[in-house]
């Protein structure tokens, strides 16, 4: 994961310097002004440039690779690969669950790691899911949100895609939290880091081929549609974490109703 | 006698109070049943035999009888609905119907083998939200909420919220952004939708 730190984050920080600004409607048009505030995308012109670049990269590199991956690799193997990648991310997820103040989620994550790493053979099989420890989304951006930090304006980052200052900071935090970032040195570690990153990207992309295709085909303004979808999805992830009020009660106590 | 009468009145109130929540509950159950019925019909069409062209009229019938398409269309145009002339409103709603049906038709193939289960339903804001899990082969189960509201006396789907993303909110921001980039001109949106429908028809 070290290459990620070295290459992508500086580019992300450069964003602020390159930013062009969207024109704010005058106060004489209150509805347009309200819409501008709700959209909260003052960097829209810059964001659209990066969206266009990402879209080209996706069309000519990532999507074809993902389509090939889905065609060549059997579904069972792809599920296994996905599970292994998810399992490798459990240490970060555990830290994020704890930062969110969600002990039951942290417990789920711990049990998932213990079960899937052993019975599930280094995470290839997700047994924990059927044993009462389902997967959930968790990252540092969600923790920041639960601490009351607002998302801030919309950002479209090169390579990484839709984000916000809060979520970009969360992304960087997760890299720092990841034990693999700090594990060892040398060619083998670098190769592992890169192959994990590339596999994750292909895995993730191959799971959304149909969705993304259909959005690009049906949306009049795909950029705005992705922006809206990203925001809504993020809000629902955060809401799900916030509403997870399961209590942590020792098994020998009377269990409260869920 | 007097205490007896008071007791009767009181017990009458108690019975009423006991009935109230159950009638609310019956309403919730009705909306879940409505979604079950609509879902079963959709699954039947998607998984049934027949070509896409044969399925289209059946699908249209289900959509027209269960979805508040006119209301969703108005919602998606937002503040521009008032700016539009009556003819533009009419053209827009008609195109919206076609675009919606085309979009559903476009997904028909991927949804082959689809199944759904109804989990629970709850009252939220303007309507009843019926929570379902939609499962299709080779895909992770999706959490889908159906928002059902009473439109002119009958239940109608007014929004679908898939994995936390509302279909009509997403559509509205798409149109709003298109309008913003085309001089807030409703006619430009109508032309774009017309081109879209033509493209979808030719392939």
- Domain at B98, CATH number: 3.10.450.710
CA distance B202 to chain A (A): 14
pLDDT of res. B13:
52
Q: Is A213 on the interface with B (CB under 8 A)?
A: no
Q: Which of A163, A182, A193 is nearest to A46 (CA)?
A: A163
Q: What is the pLDDT of residues B80-123, one digit of tens each?
A: 999 899 999 999 999 999 999 998 888 888 888 899 999 988 88
Contacts of A233 in chain B (CB under 8 A): 163-165
Phi–psi pair at B123, nearest 5 degrees: -80, 130
Do residue B174 and residue A210 have CB atoms under 8 angstroms apart? Answer: no
Dihedral (C-alpha) A62, A68, A72, A77: value to the nearest 10 degrees? 20
List the single residue in A with minimal CA-CA distance to B109: A210
Please name the residues in contact with A123: beta carbons below 8 A apart, sequence gap of 6 or more.
Answer: A83, A84, A86, A87, A88, A116, A117
Q: What is the pLDDT of residues B121-176, one digit of tens each?
A: 888 877 899 999 999 887 778 899 999 998 888 899 999 999 899 999 999 999 99
CA distance B4 to chain A (A): 40
* Cα separation, A179 vs A202, whole angstroms: 22
Do residue B177 and residue A233 have CB atoms under 8 angstroms apart? Answer: no
Q: Is A223 on the interface with B (CB under 8 A)?
A: yes
Please report, for chain A, the start and end positions of each structural domain, with discontinuous segments joined by +.
2-242
For chain B, give the mean pLDDT: 85
Residue with token string 């959930």: A136
Q: Which of B169, B177, B178, B176 is nearest to B196 (CA)?
A: B178
pTM over 0.95: no
**Which residue in B170, B181, B184 has the most chain A C-beta atoms within 10 A of its own C-beta, making it the best mutation to test that interface?**
B170
pLDDT of res. B3:
56
pLDDT of res. A243:
92
Do residue A224 and residue B174 have CB atoms under 8 angstroms apart? Answer: yes
Q: Which of B108, B132, B107, B103 is nearest to B47 (CA)?
A: B108
CB-CB contact of A179 with A66 (8 Å): no
Average pLDDT, stretch B35-58?
Answer: 89
Q: Is B142 on the interface with A (CB under 8 A)?
A: no
- In this prediction, the residues of chain A whose per-residue pLDDT falls under 50 are 1-5, 9-19
Q: Is the dihedral of CA A212, A215, A216, A222 positive or negative?
A: negative
Angle among Cα A59, A140, A167 to the nearest 5 degrees reads: 45
* Cα separation, A158 vs B148, whole angstroms: 40
pLDDT of res. B25:
46
Residue with token string 């997904």: B107
pLDDT of res. A46:
95
Do residue B193 and residue A35 have CB atoms under 8 angstroms apart? Answer: no
What is the DSSP pairing of strand A155-157 with strand B154-162? unpaired
CB-CB contact of B147 with B129 (8 Å): yes
Do residue B164 and residue A228 have CB atoms under 8 angstroms apart? Answer: no
Token pair for B91: 């053209």
List the single residue in A with minimal CA-CA distance to B167: A229
pLDDT of res. A9:
47
DSSP letters spanning chain A = -HHHHHHHHHHHHHHHHH---PPPPPTT-HHHHHHHHHHT-TTHHHHHHHHHHHHHHIIIIIHHHHHHHHHHS-HHHHHHHHHHHHHHTHHHHHHHHHHTT-HHHHHHHHHHHHHHHHTTTTTTS--GGGGT-------HHHHHHHTT----S-EEETTTEEE-HHHHHHHHHHHHH-HHHHS--SHHHHHHHHHHHHHHHHHHHHTTHHHHHHHHHH-SSHHHHHHHHHHHHHHHHHHHHHT-------TTSPPPP-
Q: Of A157-161, A252-256, B41-45, B49-53, which gets the smallest average pLDDT?
A: A252-256
Q: Directed axis angle between helix A90-99 and helix A165-177, to 10°?
A: 120
Do residue A221 and residue B163 have CB atoms under 8 angstroms apart? Answer: no
Token pair for A241: 């974490």
Residue positions counted in chain A: 258
pLDDT of res. A95:
96
A158 C-beta neighbours (distance < 10 Å), count: 16
Do residue A221 and residue B103 have CB atoms under 8 angstroms apart? Answer: no
A241 C-beta neighbours (distance < 10 Å), count: 22
Contacts of A32 in chain B (CB under 8 A): 184
Do residue A218 and residue B196 have CB atoms under 8 angstroms apart? Answer: yes
Token pair for B59: 């699908």
């Amino acid at each position: 994961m070290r290459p990620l730190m070295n290459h992508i984050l500086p580019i992300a920080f450069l964003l602020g310097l390159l930013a062009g600004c969207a024109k704010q409607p005058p106060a004489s048009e209150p509805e347009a002004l309200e819409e501008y505030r709700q959209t909260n995308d003052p960097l829209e012109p810059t964001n659209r440039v990066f969206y266009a670049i990402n879209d080209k990269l996706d069309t000519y590199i990532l999507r074809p690779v993902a389509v090939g991956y889905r065609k060549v690799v059997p579904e069972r193997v792809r599920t296994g690969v996905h599970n292994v990648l998810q399992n490798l991310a459990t240490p970060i997820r555990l830290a994020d669950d704890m930062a969110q103040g969600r002990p039951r989620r942290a417990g789920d994550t711990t049990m998932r790691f213990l079960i899937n790493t052993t019975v599930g053979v280094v995470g290839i099989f997700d047994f924990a899911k059927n044993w009462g420890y389902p997967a959930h989304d968790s990252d540092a951006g969600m923790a920041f949100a639960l601490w009351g930090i607002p998302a801030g304006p919309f950002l479209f980052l090169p390579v990484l895609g839709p984000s916000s200052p809060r979520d970009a900071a969360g992304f960087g935090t997760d890299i720092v939290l990841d034990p693999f970032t700090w594990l060892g040195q040398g060619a083998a570690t670098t190769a592992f880091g890169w192959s994990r990153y590339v596999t994750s990207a292909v895995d993730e992309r191959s799971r959304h081929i149909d969705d993304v295709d259909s959005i690009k085909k049906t949306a009049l303004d795909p950029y705005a549609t992705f922006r809206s979808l990203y925001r809504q999805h993020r809000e629902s992830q955060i809401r799900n974490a916030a509403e997870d009020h399961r209590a942590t009660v020792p098994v020998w106590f009377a269990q409260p109703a869920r | 006698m007097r205490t007896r009468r008071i007791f009767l009145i009181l017990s009458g109130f108690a019975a009423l109070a006991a009935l109230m929540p159950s009638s609310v509950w019956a309403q919730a159950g009705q909306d879940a049943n409505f979604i079950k019925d609509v879902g079963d019909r959709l699954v039947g069409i998607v998984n049934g035999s027949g070509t896409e062209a044969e399925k289209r009229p059946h699908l249209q019938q289900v959509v027209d009888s269960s979805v508040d398409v006119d209301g969703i269309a108005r919602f998606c145009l937002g503040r521009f609905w008032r700016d539009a002339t009556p003819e533009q409103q009419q053209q827009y709603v008609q195109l919206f119907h076609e675009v919606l049906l085309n979009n559903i038709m476009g997904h028909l193939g991927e949804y082959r083998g689809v199944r759904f289960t109804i989990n629970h339903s709850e009252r939220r804001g303007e309507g009843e939200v019926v929570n379902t899990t939609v499962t299709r082969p080779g895909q992770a189960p999706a959490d889908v909420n159906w928002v059902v509201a009473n439109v002119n006396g009958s239940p109608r789907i007014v929004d679908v919220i898939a994995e936390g993303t509302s279909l009509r909110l997403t559509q509205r921001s798409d149109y709003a952004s298109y309008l913003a980039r085309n001089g807030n001109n409703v006619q430009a949106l109508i032309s774009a939708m017309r081109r879209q429908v033509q493209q979808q028809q030719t392939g």
